[in-house]
Chains A and B, each alone.
Chain A
Amino acid sequence: MNYPVWELPMGGGVLMALVSVLHVFVAHLAIGGGLWLVVAERSARRRGDAALLALVKSQSRTFLLLTLVFGAITGVGIWTTAALISPQALLALIRAYVWGWAMEWVFFIVEIAAALVYWYGWERLDARTHQAVGWIYFIAAYMSLVIINGIVTFMLTPGGWLENKEFWTGFFNPTYWPSLALRSAAAAAQAGLFVLVTAAFLKRGDARAEEARVWATRRGAAWVAAGVAAFAAALFWYRGALSGAIPDWADLAAGAIPVLPRVVALMWAGAAATFLLALWPLAAPRRWHPAGAVLLTASALVLFFGGEWVREAARKPFTIHGYLYTTGLRVDQEPEVAAAGVTAFTRWRDPAAATPAERGRDLYRAWCLPCHTRDGYNAMRPFLGHRTEAEIVDFLPRLQHMRARMPAWHGNAAETADLAAYLATDADRGAAVFPADRDAAARLAWDAHCGTCHTLDDYRPLRPSLAGNTREDFEAMLDMLPDLAAEMPAYGGDPVERGHLLDFLTGAAGADPDRSAE
């Protein structure tokens, strides 16, 4: 609303997710890996094991490249991308937490300097000083996490900050500690991953080098397994804290937000796969293989991807929960918008826009595009293809009742008509085709209408009300939806579509287990 919205075919959220996941993946590795290096170096020196020391040194070079080149720059990348995708939220985060960022920056300098000195110091520093630098690296890296964790959790569960706007209230928010536990566990697991991957790709040397490799492999595997197990345990603590802070969390996880259950499942699958794969090098370190390392990396990526996505999805429709919507509107501005209409709050209006559809396009960019795309992620076209303009006008004021947790649409009648005119233009609607397969067509008719607000069995379940009714009952029901609940729009599908939907409802009423998905 305050800023122009960057039109990206795949959606801004996708780009943000890509950069964040890559960064978070390497950032945790950069923390845990630092601990691994000092611990392993100390072991090697205590035992006078030159082969192990050589191995640690070679790992530290990969580590340097990975953390400095990839870790640090993707970190900058998050800032760059956030400025492009959610400028309003970034500015708020900076205003509220600039001292936090500044503190984190100090640790960042120390971390980077220590990483360089550690690497260049292998030949030049005495053992004690070299290890001291290693510890300095690890402590600085971990302190970065301690600070960033406060700001990241603040966005999801700002807690008391919403009332008092105090730095430390928002910082030590309801999910701070469980999240720190989660991330610490993840860092340990990532350190193990780093060890396993480097060990797998190491050139085979003499017997002693091989012993060192096996030593490291076994320990790396233990770190992964222990890290993932601790992660899973911390997840329960985290979930408890989250349900406390976001009261309808149970609803969300049960499918109020359509993607959430799938994403949670993805995260668990990633965790399980990572854990199981780590058992291989734990049991048979000599037979640990590059293929395993690739699989392990992939499954850990799935875990991180799932985890970050859950956090993102749980935050909808806010970027700072309870304070700022994804559209850049503050919650406290809502009454004003509701009274004055959205146009006054749409800064980027094309002076050349003359027709309703052209004016609607500006509204669409400001109020829908932050979360939607035409055909990419969260695409609108498949949905709009099955709606008439009148239906669109009817559903716009009900967006906030949909499962998706969208912000309410506060347009007045004229603005709603403009937006609907734009959404109904052929270019942006796509075609309303139904697949030939009757079951698939029935499913689509359901998804496009009732499924946006209901599920059959979980969130706002319909099956209980459908049970025992006949097709004729449903015919009547479709004509009186607004009478059943004010939140519901009238049904206006054409006869073909109506037929498909009736098929679905009759099937569901018969409790046909095939139809009970979602």
Chain B
Amino acid sequence: MNPYVPTPDVLPIPATAPLFEALLHLTFLVHLLFMNALLGGGAILLGSLFARGGDRELHEAVIERISKLLPTLFAGTVTFGVAPLLFMQTLYGGFFYTSSILMGWPWFATVPLLIVGYSAIYLNSFRGRRLGGGRRWAAAVAIGCVALVGFAFSNNTTLMLTPEKWSRLYFASPGGLHLNLGEALLWPRFLHMALGAVAVAGIMLALLARRERTDARLREALTRRGLDVFLAATVVNIMIGFWYLLALREDVSRLFMGGSGHATGLLGLGTALSLVLLLLAWRVRVVPARSLKPLAWSTLLTLAVMILMRDAVRKGYLAGLANLHEIPVRTQTLNLVIFAVLLVAGITTVVWMVRRLLAAPSR
């Protein structure tokens, strides 16, 4: 037993652990969708902003459409990031806090980075063209900040899995200046996430193109651009996925190689899905008028599988250290019901507001 793993908290959790896990995965899925659109969309935006050649008109269309959306995507990313963080801390708080403290400054830096990134995104969106050449840099700062925050998260979520490294880091320097750069898992994990975001954003761009009812040429061009991005990113990402797999600690990678039916099944499903995705994307790429729905839904499914795989990795690393079923439970039924009712009412309200907004003609 590693002596630096904190003693589990004595306070019970107010519902069974699987319920919190379900909430964690569900809210994380929504967070991922927003985050992918934000980070990946931002990357596509930068591509168009910094492109020298190519179809100028298409670049402009990409820039305008994405810039307008980014502030809302940022808000969505943050609001839906809070919930999985909450549920993750409910279950794994001790591990997460320790690694956060070792990373004190870089971890704290996510807060100013978010503020700067968010401000730059609004600058790009509200001032836009009026910034002239400065616009590229506003966008670059914004997306750079978002990527750095993502990188900090990758560092922290890997460091929390390896308690055996903690004490060496802390006693070498207790001032919280560490990252987790020595971790084999770090780069494949971060790159897998980041490229996945770019791929998903490609699909979102293609979906966005469907709203161009008047200009068929633009619609096709945007669709193609989105799918090109998706295809390129996904091909590379499949390879990074294998790198990730190889970088896993041996006992954990064995789980994915037949050691655990659950983990192996997920891996098989994930691999199969990514091939299906390539195929589906290619079909629409060739004939842009084809429906995007099968591709979009399969992507969502793939994201869900990835989340479960990520969870299997975490459970593998923390096997024997974090046993969720051992956390004492004292169910608060009333509060659970209140939360569920509020959630339904809240989502209904949001949907109502957004629909009214989208239904209204732009005056």
Contacts and interface: CB of A to CB of B under 8 A. Distances in A.
A complexed with B: yes
A294 interface: no
A116 B363 contact: no
Contacts of A88: 9
Given A98-B86, A167-B14, A91 B102 contact: no
B89 interface: yes
B354 A117 contact: yes
A116 B68 CA distance: 12
Given A73-B115, A87-B101, A117-B357, A96 B11 contact: yes
Contacts of A109: 79-80, 346-347, 350
A3 B101 contact: yes
Given A77-B111, A95-B90, A103-B338, A7 B176 contact: yes
Contacts of A348: 4, 167, 170
B75 A68 contact: yes
Interface stretch (A47-55, A119-127, A268-276, A376-384): A119-127
Interface in A348-370: 348, 350-352, 365
Contact of B339 (A19, A91, A102, A330): A102
A92 B14 contact: no
A95 B20 CA distance: 12
Contacts of A91: 9, 89, 93-94, 97
Interface string B1-13: 0011011011111
A413 B213 CA distance: 82
Interface in B75-90: 75, 78-83, 85-87, 89-90
Interface stretch (A78-86, A206-214, A445-453, A503-511): A78-86
Given A91-B89, A110-B349, A113-B350, A68 B118 contact: yes
A481 B85 CA distance: 54
B115 A70 contact: yes
Interface residues of A, number: 67
B14 A3 contact: no
A350 B3 CA distance: 11
A83 B110 CA distance: 13
Interface string B332-363: 10011011001101110110011011001111
Nearest to A93: B11
B44 to A, nearest CB: 22
Contacts of A167: 14, 332, 335
B268 interface: no
Interface string A53-79: 000000000000100111011101101
B48 interface: no
A116 B72 CA distance: 7
A190 to B, nearest CB: 19
A167 B334 CA distance: 10
B97 A83 contact: yes
B174 interface: yes
A95 B79 contact: no
Contacts of B360: 121, 124-126
A4 B101 contact: yes
Interface string A367-396: 000000000000000000000000000000
A133 B174 CA distance: 48
Nearest to A19: B111
B171 A352 contact: yes
A114 B356 CA distance: 12
Interface of A is mostly: helix
A90 B97 contact: yes
B292 interface: no
Given A8-B175, A83-B100, A109-B350, A76 B90 contact: no
Interface residues of B, number: 72
A438 to B, nearest CB: 40
Contact of B346 (A8, A74, A110, A117): A110
B102 A74 contact: no
A365 B171 contact: no
A72 B6 contact: no
Contacts of A129: 356
A348 B119 CA distance: 40
B79 A108 contact: yes
A112 B34 CA distance: 14
B112 to A, nearest CB: 8
B356 to A, nearest CB: 5
A347 B346 CA distance: 43
A95 B353 contact: no
B11 A15 contact: no
B107 A72 contact: no
A5 interface: yes
A120 B300 CA distance: 28
Interface in B158-188: 166-167, 170-171, 174-176
Nearest to A65: B122
B13 A98 contact: yes
A94 B118 contact: no
Contact of B167 (A83, A100, A108, A351): A351
Contacts of B338: 99, 103
B114 interface: yes
A184 to B, nearest CB: 21
B104 interface: yes
Nearest to A12: B104
B276 to A, nearest CB: 33
A96 to B, nearest CB: 6
Given A106-B339, A117-B353, A167-B332, A3 B111 contact: no
B96 interface: yes
B75 A116 contact: yes
6 contacts: A84-B100, A84-B107, A87-B98, A121-B357, A124-B361, A347-B6
Interface of B: 3-4, 6-7, 9-15, 20, 23, 71-72, 75, 78-83, 85-87, 89-90, 93-94, 96-98, 100-102, 104, 107-108, 110-111, 114-115, 118-119, 122, 166-167, 170-171, 174-176, 332, 335-336, 338-339, 342-343, 345-347, 349-350, 353-354, 356-357, 360-363
In order of increasing CB-CB distance, the 9 nearest A-B pairs are A87-B97, A99-B335, A95-B11, A77-B111, A124-B360, A106-B346, A2-B6, A91-B93, A7-B174
Interface of A: 2-8, 15, 19, 65, 68-70, 72-74, 76-77, 79-81, 83-84, 87-88, 90-92, 94-96, 98-103, 105-110, 112-114, 116-117, 120-121, 123-126, 129, 133, 136, 140, 165, 167, 330, 347-348, 350-352, 365
Given A76-B78, A79-B82, 6 more contacts: A4-B174, A74-B111, A88-B9, A96-B11, A113-B353, A121-B356
